[in-house]
């Protein structure tokens, strides 16, 4: 997906079994962030930055939702461990990863594999992508979002 595209209506199922829809966020801005894996250093730093920055993000009119291919149970444990105050979508079938174009070939230590490319989508009040952050600063992701003006 690119700037100007409308996001899909069905976003996915959260750790508690709730099905999130784009219409749930109508009239609010949404931070939809994709990350590779629960409980890894970069993903934990990013989630904690967003959690710590949630009051400022909420004040600026944003809702926050994380997405990875991890299971609902993995998300539940991750959210409990770090007291995350926003939902995590369990995109186990990669529907959302593929729709947003973040499921890509990656390289690490000389091997190639498919994985989620860490990406943050800023979605406006009408469900349209307003900005995309591809160089996510995991430890400062909340500030990085708040610094965007669209």
Q: Is 48 a catalytic residue?
A: no
pLDDT value at position 107? 87
SS (H, E, C) 12-62: EEECCCCEEEHHHHCCCEEEEEECCCCCCHHHHHHHHHHHHCHHHHHHCCE
Task: State the average pLDDT for the chain.
Answer: 95
Tokens at 34, concatenated: 């994709």
- pLDDT digit string, tens, across residues 30-40: 999 999 999 99
pLDDT beyond 90 at 104: yes
pTM over 0.75: yes
pLDDT value at position 65? 98
Chain position carrying tokens 């949404």: 30
User: Nearest-5° angle of CA 11, CA 25, CA 134?
Assistant: 60
Residue from 11, 22, 43, 84 carrying the catalytic annotation:
43
């Amino acid at each position: 997906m690119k700037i100007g595209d409308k996001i899909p209506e069905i976003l996915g199922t959260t750790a508690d079994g709730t099905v999130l829809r784009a219409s749930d966020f109508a009239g609010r801005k949404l931070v939809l962030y994709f990350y590779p894996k629960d409980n890894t250093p970069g993903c934990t730093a990013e989630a904690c930055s967003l959690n710590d920055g949630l009051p400022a993000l909420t004040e600026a009119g944003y809702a926050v939702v994380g997405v990875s291919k991890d299971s609902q149970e993995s998300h539940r444990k991750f959210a409990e461990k770090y007291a995350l105050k926003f939902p995590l979508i369990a995109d186990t079938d990669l529907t959302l990863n593929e729709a947003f174009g973040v499921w890509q070939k990656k390289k690490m230590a000389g091997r190639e594999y498919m994985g989620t490319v860490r990406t943050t989508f800023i979605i406006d009040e009408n469900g349209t992508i307003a900005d995309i952050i591809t160089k996510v600063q995991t430890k400062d992701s909340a500030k990085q979002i708040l610094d965007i003006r669209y």
